[in-house]
Amino acid sequence: MPLYFQVATRLQELIEKGEIGVGARIENEVDLAERLGVSRPTTRRAIQYLVERGMLVRKRGVGTQVVHPKVRRPVELSSLYDDLVAGDRSPRTEVLELRTMPAPDPIAAALEVAPGTEVTWIERLRYAGGEPLALMHNAIPVDVLRLTPEDLASHGLYELLRRAGLTPRIATQVIGARSATAAEARILTEKRGASLLTMTRTAWDAGGRALEYGSHVYRASRYSFELNLSAG
Amino acid sequence: MPLYFQVATRLQELIEKGEIGVGARIENEVDLAERLGVSRPTTRRAIQYLVERGMLVRKRGVGTQVVHPKVRRPVELSSLYDDLVAGDRSPRTEVLELRTMPAPDPIAAALEVAPGTEVTWIERLRYAGGEPLALMHNAIPVDVLRLTPEDLASHGLYELLRRAGLTPRIATQVIGARSATAAEARILTEKRGASLLTMTRTAWDAGGRALEYGSHVYRASRYSFELNLSAG
DNA sequence: CTTATCAGTTTGTCATGACAAAGTATTGAC
DNA sequence: GTCAATACTTTGTCATGACAAACTGATAAG
C-alpha cells in the first residue's frame, strides 16, 4: 500500500471519527510532512486525494479545511444489480431473451462499431424485494464476451464483464422519462401510462473498446438515480 | 498558465486533431519530458490530467495510450440555464413566486440548517425555444444570498451565485420520474398524467455551507440528463 | 479613522534524482 | 518446439530543494 494512501487513510479516519471537526483547519503541509516523517509531495498527494473526494478544501495562503466528515463518492460505474446487492434488496433476474444478431444501426452507432456487427441481444426483467423493478435491454459485441442465460440469471452483467477481465472505464448515460407502453406496463405490473425512468448507456473499457450498450426502463415509483457531484 | 497545463493542452490538441490516433501509444514520459524541456513530474501531471478526462490510459510497463479523441467531460455542476445558453436554445425565465419564509423541515434537513431558518423560496418557469420546459422550485438561505425577481428573470441561479462569489463545489442529486399533476400539466402545457423528470439537488460551497436546495420537474418529452462517467 | 504598504504564512508549481513494480520481449535450456 | 528464466522498457512512488502566488494581519501614512 503506497505511503500517500496510508497518510490519506489516516487523515480520513481522524475526520470521520470527528477528531478533526468540520470547519477546522488541518496542520499545514510542511509541518505535517515533517511530523509524519514523509516528504511534502507525499503529504500533498494524500491531501489531494481527500480534496477530490470532497472532504477537504485547500486555499492558497490560508490552509486546508475540513468541509465534510464523510466521503462523498463520485458517480460510480456500477450496475443496478450491484447496487441492489449492496442495498440488501435481494435482486433476482429473469432472462426473457438472449440471442445473437447483427446490431441495428442505432445500436452499432452507440457502440461505435460497424453496422451489422454481431452482438448478443439480451432482454431481462430485474426483480427486487419480490417485485419487478426494471426491464433491461443490452447489446454486447460477441467478440467482447459470450454469455449464457445461466450466468445472467444469477449475476449482474457488470460482474460477468469484470470476471472476464473486462473493466468498464468510461461511460455515457442519458437519463430520461416516458410513459409505459401497454406491454411494458403489463410486464412491470404498472398501470398503463405509468411514468418510467429510462436510461441508455454505452460503456468502454480502458482500451477504448465499447463493451456494452444498454437501454433500460425502471419503474419510477420504485427507483431513482442518486448522484454525487464535485467540481474542480 | 502553469507549465503542466500548457503541456496537457498541447497534447490534447494533437489528439483532437487526430495527429495521434486512437489506440496509438504516446511517447514515454522520460523522453517526452526531455524533448519538451520540462521535468518528468510536470509531464506526468499533464498526462494525469488527460487520463482523468478519459482521453488517455496508462499501463505500467506498457505505456500510455489514446483511448478517445475527445474530452469526456465529467458530470458538471452547472444549471439548466447555462446548459441551454450553451446549446443555443434561447432560454427565458418567468418568476412565478419569490418570497422569504422559514424553511419547512424537509428542506431545512436537505440544506443541513436549523429548522425554521429563513430562506428565499422561488418558483420559476423556464422556457426554451418559446416553449415551457421546466418548473423549478428553489430555496436559498437568506444569509447566503438575497435575490430580486429582476436578477432571476435574466440570469441563471448559478450565475447569480457565482457573481456573488459563491461557487458550488459539491452537490447531491436525485433524479426520478412521476406523472404530472393537473396543475403541473397546465403550466407546462402537457397532457394530464404526462411523464415528468424530477430532480432534487442540494449544493454546497467550498466551505461546506449549503447554498441551494432545488426541486425541479422537467417535461420528459423535451429534456433528458446526459452524464459522462469515468471510473478510477 | 481609513487606507495603503509590507511582512509572514501557506499552498501551488517545478526541477532533479532514485528506486520499485509491472508488463514485454528475448534468450536459453530441455 | 515449448517453457522458463532473464533483461529491458515504462509507469508508479518517494525524497529533497527551491521559488512563486495568494491570502492574512500588522504597521505606517494620510
My answer on whether A15 and A115 are in the same domain is: no
pLDDT at B92: 81
- Do residues A123 and A134 make contact, with C-beta atoms less than 8 angstroms apart? no
CATH number at residue A20: 1.10.10.10
DSSP letter at A116 equals T
Does B47 reside within a domain? yes
A45 touches strand D (CB under 7 A): yes
Distance CA A32, CA A29 (A): 5
Interval B198-221: pLDDT, tens: 999 988 876 678 889 999 999 998
In chain B, residues with a C-beta closer than 8 Å to the C-beta of A75 are: 75, 227, 229
CATH number at residue A158: 3.40.1410.10
pLDDT at B78 over 90: no
In chain B, residues with a C-beta closer than 8 Å to the C-beta of A172 are: 72, 226-229
Interval B145-170: pLDDT, tens: 888 888 887 787 877 887 777 777 77
Distance CA A64, CA A41 (A): 15
What is the domain count for chain A? 2
Nucleic chain C: which protein residues 83-122 of B have CB below 7 A from it?
A: none
Candidate from B67, B173, B223 with C-beta closest to A227: B173
- Cα-trace Rg, chain A: 22
Does A226 reside within a domain? no
Residue for grid cell 523522453:
B31
- Do residues A77 and B231 make contact, with C-beta atoms less than 8 angstroms apart? yes
Nucleic chain C: which protein residues 58-77 of A have CB below 7 A from it?
A: 58-64
- Please count the other Cβ atoms lying within 10 Å of the Cβ belonging to residue A124: 21
Distance CA A15, CA A22 (A): 8
Q: Indicate the range of A165-169, B53-57, B93-97, B178-182 predicted with least confidence.
A: A165-169
My answer on whether B85 and B37 are in the same domain is: no
> B123 is in which domain, residue-wise?
80-219
Residues B229/A2/A164/A211 CA torsion (nearest 10 deg)? 20
B44 touches strand D (CB under 7 A): yes
pLDDT at A1: 84
| CB contact A65 to B (< 8 Å) | yes
- Do residues A181 and A203 make contact, with C-beta atoms less than 8 angstroms apart? no
My answer on whether B181 and B131 are in the same domain is: yes
My answer on whether B92 and B58 are in the same domain is: no
pLDDT at B38: 95
Does A131 reside within a domain? yes
B65 touches strand D (CB under 7 A): no
Nearest chain B CA: its distance from A81 CA (Å): 17
In chain B, residues with a C-beta closer than 8 Å to the C-beta of A228 are: 170-173
pLDDT at A156: 77
My answer on whether A112 and A211 are in the same domain is: yes
Does A227 reside within a domain? no
pLDDT at B74 over 50: no
Q: End of a domain among A39, A66, A93?
A: A66
Distance CA A93, CA A135 (A): 10
Residues A19/A25/A29/A30 CA torsion (nearest 10 deg)? -100
A39 touches strand D (CB under 7 A): yes
- Do residues B26 and B11 make contact, with C-beta atoms less than 8 angstroms apart? yes
Interval B103-144: pLDDT, tens: 999 999 888 888 899 999 999 998 887 889 899 999 999 988
Q: Low-confidence residues of chain A, pLDDT below 50?
A: 73-75, 232
Distance A59 CA to D30 C1' (A): 33
With CB atoms and an 8 Å threshold, state whether A229 touches B22.
Answer: no
Q: How many CB pairs under 8 A join A and B?
A: 164
Distance CA A139, CA A118 (A): 9
- Please count the other Cβ atoms lying within 10 Å of the Cβ belonging to residue B77: 19
- Please count the other Cβ atoms lying within 10 Å of the Cβ belonging to residue A96: 14
pLDDT at B87 over 80: no
Residue with minimal CA–C1' distance to C9 is A61
Residue for grid cell 464535485:
A230
Candidate from A67, A75, A226 with C-beta closest to B229: A75
Distance CA A215, CA A175 (A): 10
- Do residues A177 and B223 make contact, with C-beta atoms less than 8 angstroms apart? no
pLDDT at A93: 83
My answer on whether A41 and A12 are in the same domain is: yes
My answer on whether B54 and B85 are in the same domain is: no
- Do residues A63 and A74 make contact, with C-beta atoms less than 8 angstroms apart? no
Strand partners, A86: none
Residue for grid cell 429534456:
B223
- Amino acid of residue B142: V
Residue of B nearest to A219 (CA): B177
- Amino acid of residue B55: M
Neighbouring residues of A187: CB distance < 8 A, sequence distance ≥ 6: A125, A132, A135
My answer on whether A60 and A90 are in the same domain is: no
3-class SS of residue B156: coil
Distance CA B194, CA B219 (A): 8
With CB atoms and an 8 Å threshold, state whether B177 touches A220.
Answer: yes
| CB contact B195 to A (< 8 Å) | yes
With CB atoms and an 8 Å threshold, state whether B195 touches A206.
Answer: no
Residue A221: all three cell numbers together: 415509483
Tell which B residues from 89 to 108 touch A, by Cβ distance under 8 Å: none
Would you place residue B172 in the very low, low, confident or very high pLDDT band (cuts 50, 70, 90)? confident
In chain A, residues with a C-beta closer than 8 Å to the C-beta of B197 are: 175-177
Q: Which of B122, B3, B24 is nearest to B69 (CA)?
A: B24
Residue B182: all three cell numbers together: 393537473
| CB contact A208 to B (< 8 Å) | yes
Distance CA A212, CA A156 (A): 13
My answer on whether A47 and A96 are in the same domain is: no
pLDDT at B84: 55
Q: B105 phi and psi, to 5 degrees?
A: -50, -50
Alpha-carbon torsion B76, B81, B82, B83, what sign?
positive
Tell which A residues from 9 to 28 touch B, by Cβ distance under 8 Å: 22-23
- Which one has a higher pLDDT value, B76 or B220? B220
My answer on whether B92 and B28 are in the same domain is: no
Angle at CA of residue B70, ends B69 and B72, nearest 5°: 130
**CA of B59: nucleotide with nearest C1':** D11
My answer on whether A51 and A147 are in the same domain is: no
A206 touches strand C (CB under 7 A): no
* DSSP secondary structure letters along A167-196: -EEEEEEEEEEEEPPHHHHHHTT--TT-EE
Interval A209-227: pLDDT, tens: 888 999 999 999 888 887 7
Does A186 reside within a domain? yes
Q: A185 phi and psi, to 5 degrees?
A: -60, -40
With CB atoms and an 8 Å threshold, state whether B178 touches A169.
Answer: no
My answer on whether B96 and B194 are in the same domain is: yes
DSSP letter at B153 equals H
Length of chain A: 232
Does B116 reside within a domain? yes
Q: Mark out the alpha helices in chain A (DSSP H runs).
A: 3-16, 29-36, 40-52, 80-86, 105-111, 149-154, 157-163, 182-187
Does A159 reside within a domain? yes
Does B40 reside within a domain? yes
